[in-house]
Amino acid sequence: METPKNPTSVNHRIREGLSRVAVAMRSDDWNRAKTAGLNPAQLSILETLEGRDVGMGVKEIAVHLSVSQPSATDSINALERKGLVEKRTGLDKRAVVVCLTAEGRAVLTSSAKTDTSAEQAVDALAEHEQEELLISLVKMIRHLQDIDAIPIQRMCASCRYFAPFKHTDAAKPHHCNFVDASFGQRDIRIDCREHEAADPAFRAATWDAFQKG
């Protein structure tokens, strides 16, 4: 029997905690999707396409969302019938890519208006706790990328424009070379539309500097 004197490992208990948060997030996703007349898989595809103006291939979408290609295809076809996405010829003229339509963007804007229960739970944390949680999540996501559990995300940590701890200002130590501006730890992005993946050597050096900072 588990007691305070004999707890399961911290790793196990953190996983239990994350799975409870995931339950609330799944429920949030159902509610937001239902309001938009979609299911959560369809809403996730719209969110994935947001900010990717050149579109994404079906396979790329499936990998990004960790779903099978047939399942992604079904959802994309349903979204296309609703007029929320469209298929276009990609930049290399050989592949077909999926892009958001103006109607798709409008659905995303209205579905983002509701403050979800997960966001309310984050609001209940103190500012320094929010920042610590954000940085811990960045570290976990980076590890998941390293072990190929998820594809490269559009995070500052993997971006060619990121210059960590370039400034002595403790409130804004980092620099984004895309907008040429300094920013703080709590402004670190998880999914930035301006992100451009750095090469592996640059990524490793950036991460090293970020960790040491």
Q: Which residues bind ligand SF4 (CB under 6 A)?
A: 156, 159, 161-162, 176, 178, 189, 192, 194-195
- Shortest approach of ligand SF4 to residue 74 CB, angstroms? 32
Q: Looking at beta carbons only, is 12 or 193 nearer to ligand SF4?
A: 193
Q: Looking at beta carbons only, is 41 or 198 nearer to ligand SF4?
A: 198
- Shortest approach of ligand SF4 to residue 163 CB, angstroms? 8
- Shortest approach of ligand SF4 to residue 178 CB, angstroms? 4
Q: Looking at beta carbons only, is 161 or 202 nearer to ligand SF4?
A: 161
Closest Cα partner for 84 from 98, 100, 71, 62? Answer: 100
The H or E element containing residue 112 is: none
- Shortest approach of ligand SF4 to residue 42 CB, angstroms? 26
Q: Looking at beta carbons only, is 189 or 203 nearer to ligand SF4?
A: 189
Q: How far apart are CA 102 and CA 100, in angstroms?
A: 7
- Shortest approach of ligand SF4 to residue 177 CB, angstroms? 7
Q: Looking at beta carbons only, is 86 or 131 nearer to ligand SF4?
A: 131
Q: How far apart are CA 113 and CA 43, in angstroms?
A: 14
Phi then psi dihedrals of residue 87, to 5 deg: -100, 135
The partner residues of 89 in beta bridges, in order of sequence, read: 96
The partner residues of 98 in beta bridges, in order of sequence, read: 56, 87
Q: How far apart are CA 77 and CA 86, in angstroms?
A: 9
Contact by Cβ (8 Å): 141, 155: yes
